[in-house]
Amino acid sequence: MSQNKIYLDNNATTPCDPRVVEAMLPYFYEHPGNAASRNHPFGWAAENAVDTARDQIADLLQVDAKEIIFTSGATEADNLALKGVYEMYARKGNHIITLETEHKAVLDACKKIEKMGGEVTYLKVQRDGLVDLAELEAAITDKTILISIMYANNETGVIQPMKQIGQICEKHGVLFMSDATQAVGKIPVHPKELGIHLMAFTGHKMYGPKGVGALFVNRKNPRVKVTSQMDGGGHERGMRSGTLNVPGIVGFGKAAEIAKAEMEQDSIRLAKLRDKLEAAFLANVEEVYVNGSREHRMPHVTNISFKHVEGEGLMMTFNQNLALSSGSACTSASLEPSYVLIALGLGDDLAHSSLRFSLGRFNTEEEIDRVIDSVSQGVQHMRDLSPIWEMYKDGVDLESVVWQEH
């Protein structure tokens, strides 16, 4: 990456670790085989490479390698889990429970299931972003077949109480699925210990390549089945047809191996840098708020609102040199505030004034010092231009102001 540019958008995607790239390179040319070609050495080499990667990923999660189904990414894995369970267990029931703060890959798949005749309950979260376990349990009916709750939120980093959710699912005989895209490879994630039966994740959030992901599908107690969403060839135990992306899978496996060895030290280092960033803003910039639970969250993520500063405008003061994500999503021609932050109870103003800082393996302390300076100066610059900030500083109660519409 350029010396002058700082990348703090690791929840969107991570840079590929050079060790991952090195592992992948031979499978683009020297070993070009299709892993399904079982009648020559090139195919055998590809199949062995895929088996090794499957073992590396299974080792990271402490599951059986046969429980790892390769997909094109977490979005496909989410779709396969949700729609695949809905179709497979239709005789048992048609009700799914999820959260309002899930990733769009889950929410949009659930909307599709509703069009297919399913019923979906979208639970609200508490102000800290955590699910209310009593509300979750109360939502279960005799038609409930699946509860789908993400492990760690992509915008706030908030980690849900997975073990307790798993216990509720077990008590009621309901399958438990999790989109663990933001957690796998960053913190220890062991689905069997937590009672998770299906779990989606991807390579590019853990310093692996884009375009390859996986779905963990529990094989014993209970044996979970999903209806394939992709037909042709019966690859991946009949759950996901399609020629395997051998170089991508090799890279995914290598990324998992590195994560297992290094995630603990990475987490400790990144949490210190994240805390330094947060402390600097909270101490030196007025009207700053950290969104979501500060106790139950990923070590490398903070979501911060700078009140009376529009996040997109703030980013324009530094986005030539610093990559961040704002709390606004561009839908059609308008900027909408993040539905995740709105679900936490933030008003539109605070949601629009938020930035997500997601640190990664290759960030340095010197970079964090530069980020603190850049963002602090940007906030000051935006507030100097803002009549609303001037009114706030003059003691005007902005809640009572009646704004004229033109």
330: annotated active-site residue: yes
Catalytic residue among 16, 110, 169, 330: 330
The long-range contacts involving 262-269, CB below 8 angstroms and separated by at least 24 positions, are: 262/361, 263/185, 263/186, 263/187, 263/188, 266/186, 266/361, 267/186, 267/187, 267/299, 267/300, 268/299
Two tokens, residue 232: 């042709």
Local structure of 176: helix, strand or coil? strand
Q: Which residues contact 218 (CB under 8 A, 6 or more apart)?
A: 67, 191, 192, 196, 197, 198, 224
**How far is the C-alpha of 274 from the C-alpha of 279, rounded, in Å?**
9
CB 255 within 8 A of CB 266: no
Q: Which residues of 122-137 are buried (b: 16+ CB within 10 A; e: fewer)?
A: bbebeebbbbeeeebb
Walk across the sheet containing 354-358 and list its strands.
288-290, 301-306, 354-358, 325-326
- Catalytic residue positions? 330
